[in-house]
Amino acid sequence: MRLLLSVACAAALASTAAAAQEVKVGMLQGFTGPTESLVKPMALGGEMAIQEVSDSGLLLGGRTVVSVRGDSTCIDAAAATAAAERLVTSENVSGIVGATCSGATTAVLNNVVRPNGVVMISPSATSPALSTIEDDGYFFRTAPSDARQGQIIADILDRRGIKTAALTYTNNDYGKGLADSIQAAFEEKGGKITATTAHEDGKADYSAEVATLAAAGGEVMIVAGYLDQGGKGMIQAALDTGAFSRFVLPDGMVGESLTDHFGTALDGSIGTNPGTDSPGATMLAELSEGKDFKGDDPYVPEAYDASALLLLAMQSAGSTDSAVYKDHVMKVANAPGEKIYPGELAKALQILADGGEIDYVGGTAVELIGSGESAGSFRETEVKDGKFETVQYH
Amino acid sequence: MDIVNALALFANFVAVPATAYGAQLALGALGVTLIFGILRFANFSHGELMSFGAMATILVTWTLQDLGIGIAPFPTALLALPVGILASIAVSLATNRMVFRFYQRRRANPIVFAIVSVGVMFVMAGLIRIIIGPDDQSFADGERFLITAFEFQKATGLKEGIAIKQTQVITVVVALVVVAALFWFLRKTRAGKAMRAFSDEEDLALLSGVNPDRVVQIAWIITATLACIAGTLYGLDKTYKPFIFLQILLPIFAATIVGGIGQPVGAILGGFVIAYSEVMVTYAFKKVITYLSPTDWAPEGLVQLLSTDYKFAVSFIILVAVLLIRPTGIIRGKVI
């Protein structure tokens, strides 16, 4: 009996010793709930970066990395907090990739990340509220805030010399948030939003809403809606009454079905949607070939980049202690330094080990701004001959 | 001072759309009022009957479009309309035979009838979603505009243009023809007279040898015809989406009650009253006032009574006001 006990003790000690060599990364994603179909490839994408780093044998002198999954759900803040608590206190993860949704992320940030001091990088929480939330420097995200698109649109209007615009948005959180950010950014640039009207999706007739905007006037009509819903109806009514002939179309409105429907009537309208001309996206898609997921699925590049940034920051700091490496996340993400694309993590680890600097580009052309969130890459398009044509990338 | 431009602006954003909308509401309200006159209950399934008629018309329209048969520059839907009307008549006679006749023979309370019609509404709504699905369907073809805002501006040299869609003109013309035919039928034909007699005093009409089953059947046939035409015109002018017909039920009932329940003339009047109020109360008069003001003065605000979010509330407000002040409606009708 005593022998057995001592063997068990020795085994336990041995496993602790092995664990000390292992770096654990928490993969805190909404595996169940509204985002479950989105999350499966995201988690695999994030784990692909972890595997790549682990296989390189270059992290902090050859330590391996494992991913520990936790289910943050999307809408249950209590479940997300409990899952994060388990990852941090019983699994002793060195950093968290997650959470998926903005609500769960906020809860985890307030209840687990700040009290315990663990770095968390979310690949997909896009709420503007997370830009200003108190995070003690532990929270980052590789997805741009929804507010970012408002600034991009304001910049585009400013550059094109458009001074007045009427604004309509689909009456939900997305539409309202986007409309607010467009209005704030545009007015900061000296532009004028003549009138703002919400529109409900699924109505037959939007002539009253358009009439209101027409009374206020404006050079363009900004339609923060959906292309197969009220947004389309608003454009139809505006074209029918001759109220507006030029439109600004944020991401929810950019799609072929819109140009197929209206054809050349939309010529001169401006569209913006997430997009990048960086080669990273294609490289990631190639890397994922033959695996269970696609590298260009929604938020997969962001998840890959989140894992990569977390581990590269550890390498740069030479420590897995969150309090130390949190200050290195921005450093490895931004210039100056050697540009790092997906699949080049080993090279990056080597450069950092040699004391060099890197500028991680990754699958989404990451550029962290403000309090540590992705600037995002947006594609500016213009409708020409009834087709969206890329003008430039922002 | 620029009265002409102010008028053009007003016409483009208020008069033209409200007139077309009013005609659509009037056709719908006529159907509701007829059923109330004969069967004495508020028919909640009327919206879905409109939807069913429009759906049948759309299906035939698609077939015709595939075959390449059309009456350009007019919409193909007009050609398909008679088939749609027949389908609506068939479905309304079938519901009458299967559901409403049972309650009519028992002389059920009007409130029972109304609830039964809610049931019919749900069954029909489900049927429509099974057949054509819940999504938007587009079936309009032919020339879209009689005159576009831009063409109008060029022709007249005004700053404001008036756009008139072909569907708006068709709506008003068809509504006029249908209403004229209906009044001729009610006033001049034997069956129409029997219907009016039955509506005024049921027992006396029965004593005079009016066949109640026949009167009820004719009422359903006329209602189905009106509903199908109203639904198709609404879909042609705006868009066809099954869910819309639940929303449009409120303004139609408001029009019926405002005009005077059981009064065909009142239904038409009510339709236009509701349509014009909805559009005018939510219209921002800023630009119109700017044109009318003697100097270049422009009002700071939008000069809008209610935000467009409250468009549907307008029919509610009018409905409540009418029920409080003059429950019989503009033209003295029955009281629910």
Other C-beta atoms closer than 10 Å to the C-beta of A281 total: 22
Task: Report CB contact under 8 Å: A204, B283.
Answer: no
Task: Report CB contact under 8 Å: B243, A202.
Answer: yes
Query: Which residues, 6+ apart, have CB-to-CB distance to A384 below 8 Å?
Result: A267
Task: Report CB contact under 8 Å: A215, B304.
Answer: yes
Site of tokens 């009002």: B299
pLDDT at B304 over 50: yes
pLDDT recorded at residue B331 = 84
Q: For residues B41 and B231, give the distance between their C-alpha atoms in angstroms, rounded to a whole number.
A: 21
Residues A186/A193, Cβ–Cβ less than 8 Å = yes
Chain A residue with the nearest C-alpha to that of B234: A204
Chain B residues lying within 8 Å of A198, measured CB to CB? 309
CATH homologous superfamily of A2-146+278-374: Response regulator (3.40.50.2300)
Chain A residue with the nearest C-alpha to that of B304: A212
Chain B residues lying within 8 Å of A240, measured CB to CB? 163, 165
Q: For residues A38 and B290, give the distance between their C-alpha atoms in angstroms, rounded to a whole number.
A: 52
Chain A residue with the nearest C-alpha to that of B17: A207
Is A209 at the interface with chain B, CB within 8 A?
Answer: yes
Q: For residues B280 and B290, give the distance between their C-alpha atoms in angstroms, rounded to a whole number.
A: 17
Other C-beta atoms closer than 10 Å to the C-beta of B1 total: 10
Residues A205/A233, Cβ–Cβ less than 8 Å = yes
Residue B336's pLDDT band (cuts 50, 70, 90)? low
The burial class, CB within 10 Å (0-12 / 13-18 / 19+), for A195 is buried
Angle B35-B36-B41 from CA coordinates, rounded to 5°: 105
Is B139 at the interface with chain A, CB within 8 A?
Answer: no
- Closest Cα in chain A, distance from residue B310 (Å): 11
In one letter, which amino acid is A360? Y
Is A204 at the interface with chain B, CB within 8 A?
Answer: yes
What is the residue-level pLDDT of chain A in tens, covering all 394 positions? 455 555 554 444 444 444 457 999 999 999 988 788 888 899 999 999 999 999 999 999 889 999 999 999 888 899 999 999 999 999 999 999 989 888 899 999 999 999 999 999 999 888 888 888 999 999 999 988 888 889 999 999 999 999 999 999 988 777 888 899 999 999 999 999 999 999 988 888 898 899 999 988 899 999 998 887 889 899 999 998 889 999 999 888 888 888 888 888 899 999 988 777 788 888 998 998 888 888 878 889 999 999 999 999 999 999 999 999 999 999 999 988 999 999 999 999 999 999 999 999 998 889 898 888 998 888 899 999 988 888 888 8
First vs last C-alpha separation in chain A: 69
Site of tokens 């020339």: B143
Is A265 at the interface with chain B, CB within 8 A?
Answer: no
Phi and psi at A151, nearest 5°, equal -65, -40
Pairing of strands A387-393, A378-384: antiparallel
Angle A237-A239-A240 from CA coordinates, rounded to 5°: 60
What ipTM was estimated for this complex?
0.82
Chain A residue with the nearest C-alpha to that of B165: A240
The string over B65-76, giving b where at least 16 C-beta atoms fall within 10 Å of a residue's C-beta and e elsewhere, is eeeeebeeeebb
Domain ranges of chain B: 16-246
Which residue of A205, A228, A229, A245 is the best one to mutate when testing the B interface, meaning the one whose CB has the most B CBs within 10 A?
Answer: A205
**Does the pTM of the predicted model rise above 0.90?**
no
The boundaries of every CATH 3.40.50.2300 domain in chain A are 2-146+278-374, 148-276+378-393
Q: For residues B84 and A168, give the distance between their C-alpha atoms in angstroms, rounded to a whole number.
A: 37
**Selection from A240, A298, A249 nearest residue A124 by Cα:** A298
Q: Which CATH class is domain A148-276+378-393?
A: alpha beta
Is B21 at the interface with chain A, CB within 8 A?
Answer: yes
